[in-house]
Chain A
Amino acid sequence: AQSVSQHNHHVILSEAASLELGCNYSYGGTVNLFWYVQYPGQHLQLLLKYFSGDPLVKGIKGFEAEFIKSKFSFNLRKPSVQWSDTAEYFCAVISGGSYIPTFGRGTSLIVHP
């Protein structure tokens, strides 16, 4: 069965710092990869996704993620965070042949102004 690991459970940064959140998955076949974000008091929403093609994916609000197949990783990055990026971030993977996403346990990001 697919498993998804998000190694950083809590991250605290100051504004303008760079961000990288790790995500690793276990299944070695074809995968579709997602990052979701949940801002305080709001719904879970899609930040970006990777299906195929360029392994560097750009999403909303300046976020990007890089798929590295050899490392089974899909890390989320942002060069300069803002206070408004404070949220919970979830990595999710859909394995080939399935339609059910497996989510990581999430990373809580707090950005101090």
Chain B
Amino acid sequence: GAGVSQSPRYKVAKRGQDVALRCDPISGHVSLFWYQQALGQGPEFLTYFQNEAQLDKSGLPSDRFFAERPEGSVSTLKIQRTQQEDSAVYLCASSLGALGQGYNEQFFGPGTRLTVL
């Protein structure tokens, strides 16, 4: 079946531009996570959705970062006024169950590589 997809796969932005990154989770998956992976580092948590509810946004690095999942399926991560330090791979992952329902394996997408010039 189809896995998690993300678009675009690559994005180049000039400093100060706004960008929107899309994540299509596996159909029926309740949980959705966003991660930021800087070059040479492991993924770092940004935010978590359970259906359409954003239950945790503790990892968002600044108020320039905003995420939504209005209908509980597709999610968009928006970065306003991009800065060079925002350059990274942004990963999306989804899992079947909600938190508190035991272990649910996260399935990762291919990521969007954002380069801010």
Contact A45 B108 (CB under 8 A): yes
Q: In the complex, what residues of A have CB within 8 A of residue B108's CB? A: 43-45
Chain A contact residues (Cβ within 8 angstroms of B): what range?
Answer: 10 to 19
* Contact present for B42 and A51 (CB under 8 Å): no
Which size bracket describes the interface of B in this complex?
20 to 34
B73 smallest CB distance to A (angstroms) = 19
User: Complex Cα distance A42/B109, Å?
Assistant: 9
Using CB atoms, name the residue of chain B closest to A6: B42
Assuming A43-B109, A46-B106, A101-B106, what are 12 further A-B pairs, CB within 8 angstroms? A32-B103, A42-B110, A43-B4, A44-B93, A49-B103, A51-B103, A90-B42, A99-B48, A100-B45, A103-B43, A103-B44, A105-B41
Kindly state whether residue A4 has any CB partner on chain B within 8 Å: yes
Shortest CB distance A67–B (Å): 16
Q: How far is the CB of A103 from chain B (nearest CB, A)?
A: 3
One digit per residue, 1 when the CB lies within 8 angstroms of any chain A CB and 0 when it does not, for chain B 48-72 equals 1000000010010000000000000
User: When each residue 36-66 of chain A gets 1 if its CB lies under 8 Å from chain B and 0 otherwise, what string results?
Assistant: 0000001111100101000000000000000
B40-A105 in contact (CB<8A): yes
Cβ 8 A contact of A4, one of B42, B56, B99: B42
